[in-house]
């Protein structure tokens, strides 16, 4: 959780959204965990059906999926810090496309 909290904080002024999906806990434990771990980003509880993780072909947890503004999956991985560079690259691309950088 600390890496996710830092990621959200670092990109709070960027066009960036983190969405978490809980796949293991019962709903009461999930809701308690949101408060316990200070989750400030969007989070969903999928219950025991695994409809979200099945639909996204998630094979291991955690899984990180980086999606660009056009809805294209740009990166998938299992370690949060592996996403730092691809996120920075995607945000730089977005800034360049707006004419804000070289």
Tell me what pLDDT residue 102 has.
52
Distance, in Å, from the CA atom of 30 to the CA atom of 7, rounded to the nearest integer, reads 21
From the list 67, 85, 64, 20, the residue with the least C-alpha distance to 46 is: 20
Residue 84 lies in a domain: yes
Residue 48 lies in a domain: yes
Residue 55 lies in domain = 2-97
Distance, in Å, from the CA atom of 67 to the CA atom of 13, rounded to the nearest integer, reads 18
Tell me what pLDDT residue 51 has.
85
Tens of pLDDT, residues 1-43: 888 899 999 999 998 899 998 888 889 999 999 999 999 999 9
Return the CATH number at 65.
Answer: 3.40.30.10
Tens of pLDDT, residues 47-86: 778 888 889 888 888 889 999 888 999 999 888 888 899 9
């Amino acid at each position: 959780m600390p890496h996710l909290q830092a990621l959200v904080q670092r990109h709070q002024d960027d066009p960036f959204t983190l969405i978490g999906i809980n796949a293991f806990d019962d709903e009461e434990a999930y809701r308690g965990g949101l408060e316990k771990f200070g989750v400030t980003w969007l989070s969903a509880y999928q219950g025991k059906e695994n409809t979200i993780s099945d639909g996204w072909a998630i094979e291991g947890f955690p899984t990180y999926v980086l999606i660009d503004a056009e809805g294209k999956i740009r990166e998938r991985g299992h370690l949060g810090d592996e996403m730092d560079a691809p996120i920075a690259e995607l945000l730089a691309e977005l800034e360049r496309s707006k004419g804000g950088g070289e």
